[in-house]
Structure 1
Amino acid sequence: MSPGVPPLSPSDVVRALRAAGCVFAEDEADLLLSSARTPDELAAMVGRRAAGLPLEHVVGWADFCGLRVAVDEGVFVPRRRTEFLVRQAIALAPPHPVVLDLCCGSGALGAALAAALDPAELHAADVEPAAVRCARRNLARYGGTVHQGDLFAPLPEGLRGRVDLLVANTPYVPSGSVGLLPPEARLHEPLVALDGGADGLDVQRRVAAGAGAWLAPGGHLLVEAGESQAALAARVFREAGMSVRVVDSEELYATVVIGTRPRG
């Protein structure tokens, strides 16, 4: 801070966040106050948050499934509703599963699954270099391997036909609705992690079409979808040769579509 300028008090931080339109100003203030190591760092963090940067980018991490997941600027922030997808995957896991986290972003899903299912063989992939760097940091402690490239393209051939759990937090916002997203998302997260094409399911179609070659017999593909998209997503999965079920969480406002590769 400039010489002679007093450090920000807790009430100063709350006022600054309220003025910027932060709905949960008190909670965010507590987090910023506990994260900043110096008064100057606190002032910088408050300024960045007030300017509209996502809170997770400001502090550098997100709480996901009880884990502190590093989230760098420019990387998709894991949503709490996606914890429902993780819970569904855990319930389906065989012993010592092979896990693949596609469109992994920070690697939050892979980290949560590896933490719950240890030991697991963990792979992840993303097309965004910033996401790959972030995911490698988050998954290193679990022995995870993160590949950079488009969906299945960068995966090693030795993984083909062996994946027990394929989780893919694909973009599913229709292109015409991206502009309606909160500024935190549309201005600070990569468009490739948000825009799902005309009906929101373009990437899910590609994942479903390719999943059969990578799933083990009886393996599962799990994706998140909007409630209004679930029926169409389920049809996409069936057309790709999988049996399908759709599960919802009223608590988290989450819908997960689960496809299973037939045995035999």
Structure 2
Amino acid sequence: MSSSRSTPSPSGSPSGADAPVPAAAVEAATVRLRRAGCVFAEEEAALLTEAALATGGGAAALDRLVELRAVGQPLEHVVGWAEFAGLRIAVGPGVFVPRRRTEFLLALARDLLLRAPGPVPVVVDLCCGSGAAGAALAVSGRRAEVHAADIDPAAVGWARRNLGDRGQVHEGDLYAALPADLRGTVAVLVANVPYVPTADIPLLPAEARTHEPLVALDGGGDGLQVLRRVAAEAGQWLAPGGTLLVETTERQAAAAREVVRAARLTAALHHDDERAATVVTGTRPG
């Protein structure tokens, strides 16, 4: 379990006397997870037990889930969900797991949405992955027209599951996926673009580089390739006063801000020490 991921939190211990999974089986799972290198083995065993019970299984189902986790599958993929901004976001093999640090980007986006003019502001979650940001903004307390888009068909399927009837999900390459009539109307444009430099992909934790799609991680030579494409067209899609928000790293922050500034947007950097999160924003002049 890495603190950078939006890891599920156990809702309580399943190992009591009345639990369908015997306490001995939960303890055995904990030992096995600890031997596999899981730092938070006890918490993970509780989550895996909860997942086993949710499928109607018992100790045998728990054993199967522990095996998947022990061989390196992300915990979120094994249990079927990730905690993000107080929501359970459905995820599974082949989709990017939302990170806890992205909750900082979400907080900035939510604040902009609450202050956006008009009765029903338009929100777009570009490079949406599982649709976590779009789903969270859809329940932010402000009525909005929510759209999400991704180039990966698998991600689109998960995003549709997570947004349900609270938003529309489109498949395609960046803005090409969006309805043309959204041009010039978007109040909040969240684009959690891939930003890992290609040469750094082998340095990522095994959970990410092995089990998450490369298209969600690889940002090109300097990690800013997709950001350049997003920023270049953002002004055509944003409403006057609308804002683009993109997550980046502290190391890339200055260069990312210049990319946004070169697109004739008013650029700013935001950093949250607690989450180790950095966000660049670009606002279309009003």
Same fold by TM-score greater than 0.5: yes
1:40: Cα distance to partner?
Answer: 2.1
Deviations 1:91-138 (A, max 9, x none): 112153210000000000001111114411000000101000010010
Deviations 1:184-238 (A, max 9, x none): 0000000010010111010000000011111000000000001010100100111
Report the counterpart of residue 256 of structure 1 in structure 2: 279
Work out the CA distance in 1 between the residues paired with 2:259 and 2:252. 11
The two structures have a TM-score, normalised by structure 1, of 0.95
Report the counterpart of residue 127 of structure 2 in structure 1: 103
1:141: Cα distance to partner?
Answer: 3.8
Report the counterpart of residue 49 of structure 2 in structure 1: 33
1:8: Cα distance to partner?
Answer: 5.8
Work out the CA distance in 2 between the residues paired with 1:205 and 1:20. 40
Give unpaired runs (5+ residues) of structure 2: 1-21
Moved over 6 A (4+): none
Please say if residues 171 and 195 of structure 1, whose CA atoms lie closer than 8 Å, have aligned partners that are also in contact. Answer: yes
Please say if residues 99 and 164 of structure 1, whose CA atoms lie closer than 8 Å, have aligned partners that are also in contact. Answer: yes
1:73: Cα distance to partner?
Answer: 1.0
What is the identity percentage for the equivalent residue pairs of Structure 1 and Structure 2?
A: 61
Report the counterpart of residue 124 of structure 1 in structure 2: 148
1:176 aligns with 2:236: no
Pairing 1:127-146 to 2, within 5 Å after superposition: 127-142=151-166, 144-146=167-169
SS where residue 44 of structure 1 aligns? helix
Pairing 1:144-223 to 2, within 5 Å after superposition: 144-223=167-246
SS where residue 176 of structure 2 aligns? coil
Relative to structure 1, is the Cα distance of residues 69 and 155 closer, same or farther in structure 2, using a 3 angstrom cutoff? same
Work out the CA distance in 2 between the residues paired with 1:207 and 1:236. 10
The two structures have a TM-score, normalised by structure 2, of 0.88
SS where residue 256 of structure 1 aligns? strand
Give unpaired runs (5+ residues) of structure 1: 1-5
Deviations 1:3-26 (A, max 9, x none): xxx996221111111111111111
Alignment RMSD: 1.2
SS where residue 259 of structure 1 aligns? strand
Work out the CA distance in 1 between the residues paired with 2:258 and 2:85. 30
How many residues get paired?
A: 257
Work out the CA distance in 2 between the residues paired with 1:141 and 1:117. 16
SS where residue 29 of structure 1 aligns? helix
1:148: Cα distance to partner?
Answer: 0.4
